[in-house]
Structure 1
Amino acid sequence: MTLRDALLAGLNSLPGTREFHLHVLVSSPRKHGNLFPFANPRPRSYLQDILILLSEQTIPDSPSVFVSAIEACVYNIPATSCAILYVSKVDSTGQATAPSPTPALVRALLLYYADPATRPISADHLWIHVFARAQNQYLFPNSSEYSKKHPLSDIKLCAWWKRQISTVVGELATRVGDTCRTKSYYTLPGLSEFEAYHSLERIYPSTGSRSNWTYGHPYSQDEIPLPCPCPSGGDSPRHLGQCIPSFDDDPKSRFIDEIAYTTDADGVRSPERKRPRADTLKTHEEDASSADASEKKEGRSKKEDQTHKEVKKVSVEEFWERMSFRQECIAGAVTGFFVIGVSATRTPASTLSTSEVSPLAPQAGQVSSQMNKRVLTSLLTAHEFPTVEKAVWSTKVIEDSIRGLCDGLKSSALPLVVTDKSGRRTPEPDPVRTTLAPPQTPPPRLVNGKRPIIDSSPNPFPEPVASLETYHSFIYGTIAVKNRPPPTKEATSAGNGTPPTITVLTARKKRTK
């Protein structure tokens, strides 16, 4: 089963009558050496980008409009047979028919990678990481200006994620049975376990889910192997750089960088010496070439040893305690970190089919990372969703552009003019914005003013080229949902259809003697 088919199956049970149009972009694996930048040696990992776009069409003649989007990353670490699914962004436009399809879409994505029968990566253990931070918009620019979009507050968002993950863990236990081990951890920095539990239970009470949540971090347990291998073979305890993975736009990564590269007591480091002039280098180049090379090597190793020493000084417990005082965790809103470990015995057939394949080999239906980045850049920079008219136009442009990229840019994205009820027509869009933005690769993140180390060895496999066959078989899918409408408030209050019982309370009069 492909990811597209799994997501469509998850949407099939939604109540109501509507039609969904789904676009799924999964990039081919590429080398990524910065998942554990402070581990020595660094484990080799492979990265894949995932972009999911869902549009809805209420009636056959109405235009489709984007309602949900998910951005995620998948890391494969063959040394420990582990994989990491990091859900970076989840957003909605608020223009979907109630109930929103976003929860079903998220649960289908998590379950697809958690279930070993559908997991497309050769890994026996999966770790799911989620950082919950409430914001008005993530992937749909200006969608917060739409009046019917109601973003969740900080506590409600954390409770929402805990509820979705609990549902996925319960469904996974039903599918796999006792052969699957799961561990669920969550942390709300700044709140104690008692405060966090009752804050989330007040919004979504527990319904007897099979997931047992632990308030804290998963780096002290030994039931499910951690992604980063331990160089000493498990004899010595892991340090901070071997436990916490580094993701883009993640507060944990920024905090570890500060710990590693801040060596002075007052938190300020002296600037490095400037490079010598070119003429000076030429005069002493022949005499001191070997000495300079050895000094540079020694200086580089000393700096790496110094950063590793600073990371080793902070324990994992101290790290999470200090996270409660970070600006991103105390800026007036509650944030949540969720980590789920899944370890299941894989079937022999799936093990044989994937063990002989290189982790860099692209699978059927995958696209190049540049195509994924190009569509995401266009969504974030060239479109906006404050009204229905603009959202409809942006949806058509992006969906036509994805098809055009698979068709060799033969199909052009035509501008759409929408006419409202009064007969007024929206102004024609700028023709320059009807095509996707050119691919722009941002430079790697600066760490202490320097570029991170990137594995520059060539990829033996070429980038996959998408085609119309790939588009219709793996990327695009549609499903027409025809189920009973959701129950109304009156029916919910009535229960089994009978009128609700109303109890009238009267005040007792005080007897006078």
Structure 2
Amino acid sequence: MNFRDHLLAALNTLPDVREFYIHVLVTAPAKDNSLYPYASPRPRLYVQDILVLLSEQANPDSPRLLVAAIEACIYLAPATDCAILYMSKIDSTGQGLAPPPTANLVRAFIRWYADPATRPVAARHLWVQLFARAQRQYLFPNSSDYPAKRPLSDARLCAWWQRVFNQVGADMREAVGGEGRVEMYYVLPGHNELEAQQVMGGASFPSTSTATPQWLYGHPYTQTKIPLPCSPPEGLHNLGHYIPSFEDDPKNRFMDEIAFTDTPVSPRKRPRTDTPRDTGDGPESQDRERDKDKKDLPMGELGKVGLDEFWERMSFRQECVVGAVTGFFSIGISVSEDRVPSPRPSPLAPQPGQVPRSMNRRILSTLLTGVEFSTPERARKATDLIEGTVRGLCEGLAPKLPPPRSKNQNAEATRDFLAPSLPKTPPRRRSDLPPVNDVSPNPFDEPEATLETYKAHIFGSITVSNPPLRPKAAASGTITEGSTGDNPGDKTKINVLAVRKKKRRPDA
């Protein structure tokens, strides 16, 4: 079973009769050293971009509409035998049947990479990380205008992610066995553990099941049970070795400010002397040694700010102080050496079903700037365009894409990101970041998306035929079982309580 079929199988348990269509785009590995820009030396990583698009058709006469999407990245650090799965964005349109398939899809997505039996990267240790911040839309522009879409509030979104991780953690505890280890961490900046439990409605309380790992309130960067992807140097504290810089994550902006605080200015070069050669103990040799020592020192205050202080100060960041609840979630899975394939394949070795990175970027750009999902008709046109573009690129065709929306046309789609209560992480000062060393070219050719790849790994469908979801009976007993109570035409049993009138006294 490949990745696509694994995701489709997870949808087979959903209630009602409907058909799902999925597109899974996983890029080939590429060398990357930008995840830890302030580490010295920078670790050599390999990254893959992942994009999953799920559409639904309620019946043969109804149109096919996109209902859910996942954008993620998987990083591999061979030096520490670690991998990081970063869940970048999850979104839904609300234009499918209830219940939506998003939770099933996300759980199956994480399990594929977390389970050592199906993990496509050769690493003993995996960290799944995400930043939960409530937005009305992430990947489907104007989908918040559709009345049936009900975005979760900030606290409910954090509770939703914790329920997802609870189920994944229980599955992984069973999969890794007694020799493996599963650790789960979460922190809501600006809240202590008791406040976080109250905000999330009790979802974060310790589980009574022995199969589910216990949640630890806090960050995972001081623990030593599961190795971290970027091992810190011995005897030298550098915050840049602990905190990864993911896209659209407030931690990277904060790291920039810490790194460029009190950064020492490089001294002026000394004038050249007439000495014919350096004897090894002159001023030039001393300058070289001094420059070498400074090169290894952390930038700014990265060597002064501790990990606990970093997370304490995160609660005062813009994204965490405007009243909205945000959360950082991490789950670590570690297995023994015999659970990893031997010999290890090359991190850059091509695998079946992979596509070039340019293809993912083109599809994602079209999704974010070329279509919208405010109405079923617009969602139908957007679904046809996106799915047709994926197939056309695999067939070697170049479909004509609509031009990106102008700033005025795109203002409505981005208004949620500009709202004060739902802040967006400001862009990074990339011009000030340390220079990236040139990486050597990939010895393998860029994969080519073909029609065979499309049929075997990218596109797939499944027909779900299960009994409809049984609605919950009201606790008061005024709604009979089998009725939703949402439709005025439902036959409901209403118990009318008669009001007992007080008898008037004869002498009144």
Q: TM-score range by the shorter chain?
A: 0.7 to 0.9
Is the CA contact (8 Å cut-off) linking 2:239 and 2:303 kept in structure 1?
A: yes
Secondary structure, in 3 states, of the residue corresponding to 2:38? coil
Tell me what 1:424 maps to. none
Kindly provide the amino acid, as one letter, of the partner of residue 332 in structure 2.
G
Cα distance in 2, alignment partners of residues 221 and 171 from structure 1: 22
- 220, 223, 231: which one aligns with 2:222: 220
Cα distance in 2, alignment partners of residues 184 and 505 from structure 1: 54
Is the CA contact (8 Å cut-off) linking 1:445 and 1:452 kept in structure 2?
A: no
Tell me what 2:357 maps to. 369
Tell me what 1:255 maps to. 254
Kindly provide the amino acid, as one letter, of the partner of residue 341 in structure 2.
T
Tell me what 2:186 maps to. 186
Task: Give the C-alpha shift of residue 501 in structure 1.
Answer: 12
- 364, 389, 398: which one aligns with 2:386: 398
Tell me what 1:277 maps to. none
Tell me what 2:467 maps to. 484
Provide the aligned C-alpha RMSD in A: 3.6
Deviations 1:158-180 (A, max 9, x none): 00100100011112223343233
Secondary structure, in 3 states, of the residue corresponding to 2:341? helix
Gaps of 5+ in 1: 274-283, 285-289, 414-429, 435-443
- What does 1:461-476 align with in structure 2 at a 5 Å threshold? 461-476=444-459
Secondary structure, in 3 states, of the residue corresponding to 2:320? coil
Tell me what 2:163 maps to. 163
**Structure 1 residue 351 corresponds to structure 2 residue 350:** no
Cα distance in 2, alignment partners of residues 344 and 506 from structure 1: 67
Tell me what 1:90 maps to. 90
Task: Give the C-alpha shift of residue 255 in structure 1.
Answer: 0.7
**Structure 1 residue 55 corresponds to structure 2 residue 38:** no
Cα distance in 1, alignment partners of residues 347 and 356 from structure 2: 15
Tell me what 2:46 maps to. 46
Deviations 1:322-360 (A, max 9, x none): 001011111220100001110123656x512xx342101
Cα distance in 2, alignment partners of residues 327 and 226 from structure 1: 28
- What does 1:438-453 align with in structure 2 at a 5 Å threshold? 446-447=429-430, 449=432, 452-453=435-436
Task: Give the C-alpha shift of residue 433 in structure 1.
Answer: 7.8
Kindly provide the amino acid, as one letter, of the partner of residue 98 in structure 1.
A
Task: Give the C-alpha shift of residue 243 in structure 1.
Answer: 1.4
Cα distance in 2, alignment partners of residues 253 and 26 from structure 1: 25
Cα distance in 2, alignment partners of residues 261 and 162 from structure 1: 35
Kindly provide the amino acid, as one letter, of the partner of residue 378 in structure 1.
T
- 366, 378, 385: which one aligns with 2:366: 378
Secondary structure, in 3 states, of the residue corresponding to 2:135? coil
Cα distance in 2, alignment partners of residues 486 and 197 from structure 1: 30
**Structure 1 residue 408 corresponds to structure 2 residue 396:** yes
Secondary structure, in 3 states, of the residue corresponding to 1:328? helix
Secondary structure, in 3 states, of the residue corresponding to 2:161? helix
Task: Give the C-alpha shift of residue 301 in structure 1.
Answer: 5.5
Task: Give the C-alpha shift of residue 203 in structure 1.
Answer: 6.2
Task: Give the C-alpha shift of residue 229 in structure 1.
Answer: 2.2
Task: Give the C-alpha shift of residue 303 in structure 1.
Answer: 6.7
The TM-score, its normalising length taken from structure 2, stands at 0.82
Tell me what 2:317 maps to. 326
Tell me what 1:422 maps to. none
Secondary structure, in 3 states, of the residue corresponding to 1:129? strand
Secondary structure, in 3 states, of the residue corresponding to 1:311? coil
Task: Give the C-alpha shift of residue 59 in structure 1.
Answer: 0.5
Is the CA contact (8 Å cut-off) linking 1:32 and 1:455 kept in structure 2?
A: no
Cα distance in 2, alignment partners of residues 157 and 148 from structure 1: 18
Task: Give the C-alpha shift of residue 61 in structure 1.
Answer: 2.7
Kindly provide the amino acid, as one letter, of the partner of residue 219 in structure 1.
Y
Q: 1:303 to 1:504 in 2, by over 3 A?
A: farther
Q: 1:294 to 1:12 in 2, by over 3 A?
A: farther
Task: Give the C-alpha shift of residue 222 in structure 1.
Answer: 1.2
Is the CA contact (8 Å cut-off) linking 1:25 and 1:367 kept in structure 2?
A: yes
Cα distance in 2, alignment partners of residues 194 and 237 from structure 1: 34
Cα distance in 1, alignment partners of residues 404 and 308 from structure 2: 49
**Structure 1 residue 150 corresponds to structure 2 residue 150:** yes
Task: Give the C-alpha shift of residue 118 in structure 1.
Answer: 0.3
Q: 1:502 to 1:118 in 2, by over 3 A?
A: farther
Kindly provide the amino acid, as one letter, of the partner of residue 469 in structure 2.
P
Is the CA contact (8 Å cut-off) linking 1:53 and 1:66 kept in structure 2?
A: yes
Task: Give the C-alpha shift of residue 314 in structure 1.
Answer: 0.4
Cα distance in 2, alignment partners of residues 216 and 378 from structure 1: 38
Cα distance in 1, alignment partners of residues 203 and 95 from structure 2: 24
Cα distance in 1, alignment partners of residues 121 and 435 from structure 2: 27
Cα distance in 1, alignment partners of residues 78 and 352 from structure 2: 20
**Structure 1 residue 314 corresponds to structure 2 residue 305:** yes
Cα distance in 1, alignment partners of residues 204 and 60 from structure 2: 36
Cα distance in 2, alignment partners of residues 205 and 41 from structure 1: 40
Q: 1:221 to 1:484 in 2, by over 3 A?
A: same
Q: 1:484 to 1:158 in 2, by over 3 A?
A: same
Is the CA contact (8 Å cut-off) linking 2:172 and 2:182 kept in structure 1?
A: no
Is the CA contact (8 Å cut-off) linking 1:261 and 1:307 kept in structure 2?
A: no
Task: Give the C-alpha shift of residue 307 in structure 1.
Answer: 4.2
Tell me what 2:131 maps to. 131
Is the CA contact (8 Å cut-off) linking 2:90 and 2:138 kept in structure 1?
A: yes
Q: 1:454 to 1:394 in 2, by over 3 A?
A: farther
Secondary structure, in 3 states, of the residue corresponding to 1:201? coil
Q: 1:460 to 1:167 in 2, by over 3 A?
A: same
Tell me what 1:423 maps to. none
Cα distance in 2, alignment partners of residues 116 and 47 from structure 1: 18
Task: Give the C-alpha shift of residue 302 in structure 1.
Answer: 7.4
Is the CA contact (8 Å cut-off) linking 2:369 and 2:404 kept in structure 1?
A: no
Kindly provide the amino acid, as one letter, of the partner of residue 39 in structure 2.
A
- The number of residue pairs the alignment matches comes to 463
**Structure 1 residue 388 corresponds to structure 2 residue 388:** no
Is the CA contact (8 Å cut-off) linking 1:30 and 1:48 kept in structure 2?
A: yes
Task: Give the C-alpha shift of residue 504 in structure 1.
Answer: 7.9
